[in-house]
Amino acid sequence: MRRIFIAGNWKMNTNFQEAKELIDAIYQQTNSHDIDVAVCPPMPYLSSVSNYIKENEHQKSLQIKVGAQNMHWEEKGAYTGEVSGTMLQDVGCTYVVLGHSERRALFSETNNGINKKIHKALALGLLPILCIGETLEEREKGKEKEIIEKQLLEGLTDLLPSQIETCTLAYEPVWAIGTGKTASPEIAQDMHAFIRKTLTEKYGKNVSDSVRIQYGGSVKPQNIQELIAQNDIDGALIGGASLKADSFSKIIEICSLSGK
Ligand code: PGA
């Protein structure tokens, strides 16, 4: 059984005051305890958000973990502007989002660099969320599965099956991110099933049965029910809707009641 996993990617949004209000409101509006939930604030707030959660989580049914939106693959050194996985752990992170399409497109991240980051994260005990997704152009050319397979296999290169089992994958079609155009449940399920089949062929059924695959791209309370009902969708990575406590909490509650 794969436990549902909902993560909020705040991107470059919020300040500490807004972050606290968001966390407070999420606690107030949720009763769930049977799904995994994480928030991924901007780097400067990881420490304070993680402490704020620790101070306030007592007697709350929902457990919220903290994730970072990126990290470097080296432990320390002359890498101006970068942050290491050890630092992320030190400030209370459980998860780290790696290979988000915005980092691939705007900051030239490659599958090879992302793979190095995953190796490092796992060596440290951080849990990676590996994002993969095709652009509209790639889909229109019928190349979406080829692209996804490449991002997946190159991202996971040289990892042990036992390590892959602890990774979360996030299928995020680039054309659905921040556009309001969610992939239909059928399109999303088709790709998730393809990802799982690729994992089975390469790493065996134990791995493919264990790995959680989130869907991401304009997820909101209005579409999460149909998405989460799909066999191979195990949760969601949420951008815009994770910045509004009402929407994020509703998504959590709908998933929790989905019976999965
Ligand atoms: P969105 O972003 O929910 O705003 O489309 C998703 C993401 O980029 O992870």
Catalytic annotation, pick one of 100, 109, 134, 144:
100
- Please tell me the distance between residue 176's alpha carbon and the centre of ligand 1 in angstroms: 8
Torsion of CA 57, 1, 155, 185, to 10 degrees: -90
HEC assignment per residue over 31-63: CCCCCEEEEECCHHHHHHHHHHHHHHCCCCCCC
Best CA proximity match to 185, nearest among 217, 153, 137, 141? 217
Q: What is the chain's length?
A: 260
Spell out the per-residue pLDDT of the chain, length 260, in tens. 899 999 999 999 999 999 999 999 999 999 988 999 999 999 999 999 999 999 999 889 899 999 999 999 999 999 999 999 999 999 999 999 999 999 999 999 999 999 999 999 999 999 999 999 999 999 999 999 999 999 999 999 999 999 999 999 999 999 999 898 889 999 999 999 999 999 999 999 999 999 999 999 999 999 999 999 999 999 999 999 999 999 999 999 999 999 88
Catalytic annotation, pick one of 102, 134, 144, 172:
172
| Residue having the nearest C-alpha atom to atom 1 of ligand 1 | 239
H or E element, residue 187: helix 185-203
Contact between 156 and 130 under an 8 Å Cβ cutoff? The reply is: yes
Based on the residue annotation, tell me whether 58 is a catalytic residue of this protein: no
- Please tell me the distance between residue 141's alpha carbon and the centre of ligand 1 in angstroms: 23
**Residue 177, ligand 1, Cβ within 6 A:** yes
Domains detected in the chain: 5-256 (3.20.20.70)
Based on the residue annotation, tell me whether 102 is a catalytic residue of this protein: no
| Residue having the nearest C-alpha atom to atom 3 of ligand 1 | 239
